[in-house]
Amino acid sequence: MPKTPTVKKIDLDTTIQTLGVAKIPSPLNYCRFIGQEETLELRLTEEEADLSMGSGLPMHFEKAGPRGKLYFDSSKVKCAIVTCGGLCPGINDVIRAIVMDAYHHYHVASVIGIRYGLQGFIPKYGHDIIELTPNNVSNFHVFGGTELGSSRGPQAPDEIVDALERMNVGVLFMIGGDGTMKAAANIVKEIRSRNSRISVIGIPKTIDNDINFVGKSFGFDTAVEKATEAIACAHVEAVGAYNGIGIVKLMGRESGFIAAQATLALKEVNFVLVPESPFTMEGPDGLLAQLEKRLRARHHAVIVVAEGAGQHLCEASGRTDASGNPVLCDISSLLISGIKDHFKNRNMEATVKFIDPSYIIRSVSANANDRVYCGFLGQNAVHAAMAGKTGMVVSRLQSRFVHVPLELVTMKRKKLNIEADYWRAVIESTGQESMTVHALPGSPCPIRKD
């Protein structure tokens, strides 16, 4: 008999760590309290969590929200907030929500802001801290970026915990992406090794929407909205020239969610290139051949490309940035030069217009939907911390706010499933034909757009 293939089991334990028994009555008197370990069952889709066991797997997550009994005497606890990694719309809204809820409803002793990411904990950098109060954060949401500043790169967990203990901090809120959540997990381990009582709560931040077990990250809606403005401009430029080609490069190192969503939002896109779907430039089914066909028929085209797309087409540098991410090759330069050479060799007139709105998109303030979302994240983070939860992030899954252990969030990056209905809809929207290096069984059929 043939051997049954061994399936690697993944630890899907959703239990949330606590600092101890919650015994102190909550000062909140206007709401329904959530049971200390109350859970809800969710069946995650392939887009919500990349699980090797497939979609539809039932999982029980601890519900977010205020608890009737607290671990901390909230009036005596000191909190700290740190923001790490790249900028993203909504960071200031989360900071504001945490401060407002902590002061007005839990009457905490103090909230401090750590300057310039994890560097702010390390004495050698000399960064001052900021006292955060309802008065000085009241207008934070008006501005993009982070009023606390940010930085990339790892810092020693023991030095960070040393700083927390020196400052008598009881709760640390960490706002950041995959790298920040990994750092948070290491800080939690260091705290536990010392038998300290410091709560660490993560608020997942990534403009790329690539954090596992997070349905949609804050700032993503704003990013897509701004991206569509750039795509609309590229379309105007393309239509304004004979055989005009508008190229827009969007964020997405390993995941093409922004490119895909913006493509669905604006139907002028004819080709979308994402990291999850390797493509070829040359050959009868390659991008250049399809682009030529498009220009001969319609005399204009719009291409949207995620920054991490097409990395297989260029030589890897082997270098990494301060956060440990591989340094990407410039796919836009490769596209532009390849397109110009192709049409020059065919004596075809073609005009290429390139737009890279990345830093504009990253640094704008959040739109209305993201502001509402950020408010819920900040409030639920405070509720979790006061109840003594730790080693977790606040996440929204299927419109429900839940607690997710750091171990699950950092298990892998979330990516587009190019065999799912969502990607099929993207391909239908553009009308592009398959350009994949190796066609996958069950991949969406190509649809031609006239």
Active site residues: 208
Q: How far apart (Å, rounded) are the C-alpha atoms in residues 218 and 216? A: 7
Q: How far apart (Å, rounded) are the C-alpha atoms in residues 54 and 43? A: 11
User: For residue 59, what are its two tokens?
Assistant: 């999982």
Classify the phi-psi angles of 52: left when phi > 0, otherwise alpha if psi is within -120 to 50, otherwise beta: alpha
Q: How far apart (Å, rounded) are the C-alpha atoms in residues 371 and 222? A: 10
Contacts of 340 (CB under 8 A, 6+ apart): 350, 352
Q: What is each CA distance from 35 to 63, 64, 153, 413, in whole angstroms?
A: 8, 10, 38, 31
User: For residue 214, what are its two tokens?
Assistant: 């997070």
* SS (HEC) of 272-301: EECCCCCECCCCCCCHHHHHHHHHHHHCEE
User: For residue 37, what are its two tokens?
Assistant: 């370990």
* Unique residue bearing structure tokens 């391909």: 427
Buried b (16+ CB within 10 A) or exposed e, 340-356: eebbeeeeeebbbbbbe
Tell me if 233 sits within 8 A of 242, measured CB to CB: no
Give the bridge partners for 413, in sequence order. 211
Helix H or strand E encompassing 58:
strand 58-63
Q: How far apart (Å, rounded) are the C-alpha atoms in residues 26 and 28? A: 5
Q: Tell me the CA end-to-end span of the chain in Å, nearest whole number.
A: 53
Residue 150 is classified by DSSP as -
Give the bridge partners for 58, in sequence order. 43
User: For residue 213, what are its two tokens?
Assistant: 């077990």
User: For residue 210, what are its two tokens?
Assistant: 């690539």
